[in-house]
Structures are given as structure tokens and as C-alpha cells.
């Protein structure tokens, strides 16, 4: 009882085990710093830079070849592996456009970046997220999408309470 069965490791055994863990090699980074990589990293070719910071510094200062520049310039979206045939919805394209961003900014300026329902405004100690709300729905009135008078500045809390899109017309009937 209470007797531990096993063997004591000799110093020779401990040193062999320690050496087995030290497989790999030392390399010198472009910043002249010495660093060590294990065999799997060496095999994958990850032995030029000591850190991601060094890699990004090298990448930033690097001059691209003329072949690379023309290849990038001539590449069509269809050649990209992530291309799915232009399936971005028209709604997403409009909301990402410059016209839409200008409309939002104009509505915010007109309302002085203040929620028109609860009159709250962001302060340095209390952040309130404001959003531009379409009075007449974005989907149902495409001609009024960028009309500033169709916009209203609301905080996130008040905007979530507002009925959206077709809900306005379904509720009123």
C-alpha cells in the first residue's frame, strides 16, 4: 500500500528526451534577429520571418513587379475563387453606395445627431448609437430613398420599436 512502482530516470535518459524535443533549427530574420523553428514549420516554409510584424513590415516596403501589377489589373471577378456570379442583392448594393451614405449624413446633420423620439444624444461618457430611419419604407418607395425629408434620426432603441417596411401598411389595413 502506498508504494509507488516505477523506475527512476537516469540523467542520460532525461538528456536524450530533452534533445528529442529540440529538433528544429535556428534562422535569422530579415531584421537580423535569431529565432528557432520546429521541423513542421520548416517543412511548410515558415522560416523567413521571426514574427508577423516583421512579415508585414517587409510586405509594406516591397515593390511589386510589373507582371504582378498587370495581372492584378486585368483580373476579372469571375476568376476569383469566391465569385458566385454577382449574387449581391440590389438592396445591399444601394445601402453600400455613396448616395445612401450622403443621405444618412444629411439626415444626421439636419437632426443635429439627436434621436427625434426620445431626444437622447451621444456624450463623451455615454455612447448612444443613432440610425437613419426611412419614414416611408425603403422597399416600397424607391423614388423616396434618397430624399432627406423622408429620413428621421433615431437611437437604436427607438428604431427597433418602429415598424419596418411592409409592416406599416399591413398594420394600418
Instruction: Convert the pLDDT of each residue in 118-152 to its tens digit.
Output: 999 877 778 889 999 999 888 888 899 999 999 99
Q: pTM for the whole thing? A: 0.51
Band of the pLDDT at 38, cuts 50, 70, 90? Answer: confident
Q: Is residue 159 left, alpha or beta, with left meaning phi > 0 and alpha meaning psi from -120 to 50?
A: alpha
**Full DSSP string of 65-109:** PHHHHHHHHH--GGGSTT--SS---HHHHHHTSHHHHHHHHHHHH
Return the closest-CA partner of residue 158 out of 106, 121, 112, 103. 121
Contact 131, 160 (CB under 8 A): no
Domain range annotation of the chain? 11-62, 90-172
For 89-121, the pLDDT digits (tens) are 888 899 999 999 999 999 999 999 999 999 998
Q: What letter would DSSP give residue 149? A: G
Amino acid at each position: 500500500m502506498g508504494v509507488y512502482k516505477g523506475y527512476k530516470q537516469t540523467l542520460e535518459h532525461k538528456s536524450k528526451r530533452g534533445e528529442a524535443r529540440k529538433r528544429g533549427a535556428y534562422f535569422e530574420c530579415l531584421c537580423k534577429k535569431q529565432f528557432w523553428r520546429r521541423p513542421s514549420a520548416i517543412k511548410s516554409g515558415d522560416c523567413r520571418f521571426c514574427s508577423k510584424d516583421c512579415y508585414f513590415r517587409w510586405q509594406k516596403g516591397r515593390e511589386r513587379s510589373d507582371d504582378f501589377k498587370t495581372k492584378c489589373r486585368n483580373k476579372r471577378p469571375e476568376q476569383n475563387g469566391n465569385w458566385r456570379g454577382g449574387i449581391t442583392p440590389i438592396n445591399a448594393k444601394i445601402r453600400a453606395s455613396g448616395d445612401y451614405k450622403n443621405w444618412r449624413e444629411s439626415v444626421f446633420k439636419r437632426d443635429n445627431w439627436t434621436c427625434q423620439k426620445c431626444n437622447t444624444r451621444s456624450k463623451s461618457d455615454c455612447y448612444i448609437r443613432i440610425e437613419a430611419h426611412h419614414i416611408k419604407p425603403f422597399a416600397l418607395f424607391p423614388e423616396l430613398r434618397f430624399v432627406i425629408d423622408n429620413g428621421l434620426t433615431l437611437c437604436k432603441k427607438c428604431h427597433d420599436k418602429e415598424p419596418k417596411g411592409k409592416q406599416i401598411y399591413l398594420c394600418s389595413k
